[in-house]
Amino acid sequence: MKIAVTGGAGFIGSNIVDELILLGHQVLIVDNLYTGKMDNINESAEFAMLDINSPKLVDVFVEFQPEIVIHHAAQVSVSKSLVDPLLDQELNIRGTLNLLQSCLSSKVRKIIYASSAAVYGTPKYLPINEDHSTIPTSFYGISKYVPESYIKIFSDLYGLDYTILRYANVYGPRQDHLGEGGVISIFMNNVLDNKILNIFGDGLQTRDFVFVKDVVSANIAALNNGSEKVVNIGTNNRVSLKDLVKIISKVTQKGVEYKSLDPKPGDIKDSCLDNIKAFEELRWLPEYSLERGLKLTFDFYESSKRNNELEEAR
Ligand SMILES: NC(=O)c1ccc[n+]([C@@H]2O[C@H](COP(=O)([O-])OP(=O)(O)OC[C@H]3O[C@@H](n4cnc5c(N)ncnc54)[C@H](O)[C@@H]3O)[C@@H](O)[C@H]2O)c1
């Protein structure tokens, strides 16, 4: 199948591209390298270094003729969205709209959209199922939610099929630990540098951490399933940050220390996504335990660090 992956040079998108190539699909990556990296780009994929807002996007799509578009390009930082809501809106909302128009012009059959648990806002109950109210508490949450509505209307009006995947906290190889990286990538790199981990708040806050390879398999399942469905992609489990530190300590076999800092304003206390619908609609279940995912993630960061040190020594 011909598949375009926006954000295919980023953390999740590049892991999806690698699997699509292994499965024998023909892949076009569209990425402007805003946070993505050349190193992440699979050599067997075509690469258009392009902003999803660009008027050229339609030409690229008309030429490649993707059957499916897997849409991961986005501004992904909650705090950046609070500092610069216009940029967040431009990349996530306007960018998706330009993408949808390009899909129509090039006769794309289906879009798979990477949404987020951020669309739910503060949970009213746990685990959160897809019927939970959507009252985002950040501009990022709004900018991930509005495209869902555009996608549904494009489907109603023009027959563009879709699956919307709402991810919990994704972690794994290639996640950026700099700046706004996920808590696991930041912790892992601090462990490697023998630094104390910073926990904001009392450490009793809980999160649903889903391994990137499980997110990849959800996208693969959505190629042929989940027509016109909105589906959570999480583990149905939650772990406190204190327990996460304990598991990291065990997995890395390093004595890990942490200190508690003031809670971050706006941080929610607990989060966990119900994944029953993902099983019903996609036949998808997460396969990686937190321990196994953390071990694979640590191995990745450890070997990246070793390679960087060798590079610098040359
Ligand atoms: N990481 C998570 O825990 C998580 C959770 C929920 C949802 N998501 C969603 O998954 C998707 C991928 O996130 P990620 O964690 O891999 O982030 P990432 O920053 O690694 O990947 C985003 C990619 O999009 C590209 N990009 C950004 N703006 C672009 C633009 N205007 N035009 C073209 N390319 C652009 C970046 O260069 C990057 O390669 C995002 O849509 C994000 O909202 C991520």
| Sites in the chain below the pLDDT cut of 70 | 179-180
**Residue 56: how many CB atoms within 10 A of its CB?**
11
Q: Which atom of ligand 1 is closest in space to residue 36's alpha carbon?
A: 39
Q: Verify whether ligand 1 is closer than 6 Å to residue 8 (CB atom).
A: no
Contact indicator for 186, 250 with CB cutoff of 8 Å: no
Whether 140 is catalytic is: yes
pLDDT of 204 reads 96
pLDDT of 178 reads 73
**Mutate which of 76, 92, 214 for ligand 1 pocket (most atoms within 8 A of beta carbon):** 76
pLDDT of 264 reads 83
What pLDDT, in 10s, does the model give residues 172-229? 999 998 766 799 999 999 999 999 999 999 999 999 999 999 999 999 999 999 999 9
**CATH 3.10.129.10 for the 2-172+209-233 domain, yes or no:** no
pLDDT of 41 reads 98
pLDDT of 209 reads 98
Contact indicator for 50, 91 with CB cutoff of 8 Å: no
Structure token pair of residue 303? 């070997």
**Mutate which of 5, 6, 11, 71 for ligand 1 pocket (most atoms within 8 A of beta carbon):** 11
Mean pLDDT, the chain, integer: 96
Examine residue 55 and say whether the peptide bond preceding it is cis (omega within 30 degrees of 0): no
Examine residue 127 and say whether the peptide bond preceding it is cis (omega within 30 degrees of 0): yes
Q: Verify whether ligand 1 is closer than 6 Å to residue 91 (CB atom).
A: yes
pLDDT of 255 reads 87
Q: Verify whether ligand 1 is closer than 6 Å to residue 171 (CB atom).
A: no
Structure token pair of residue 160? 């563009």
Contact indicator for 75, 92 with CB cutoff of 8 Å: yes
What pLDDT, in 10s, does the model give residues 94-129? 999 999 999 999 999 999 999 999 999 999 999 999
**Of the residues 120, 140, 162, 301, which is catalytic?**
140
Rounded to whole angstroms, how far apart are CA atoms 19 and 239? 28
pLDDT of 179 reads 63
Q: Angle 105-62-56 (CA atoms, 0-180°, nearest 5)?
A: 90
Q: Verify whether ligand 1 is closer than 6 Å to residue 10 (CB atom).
A: yes
Q: pTM of the prediction?
A: 0.98
Rounded to whole angstroms, how far apart are CA atoms 266 and 133? 18
Residue spans per domain, the chain: 2-172+209-233
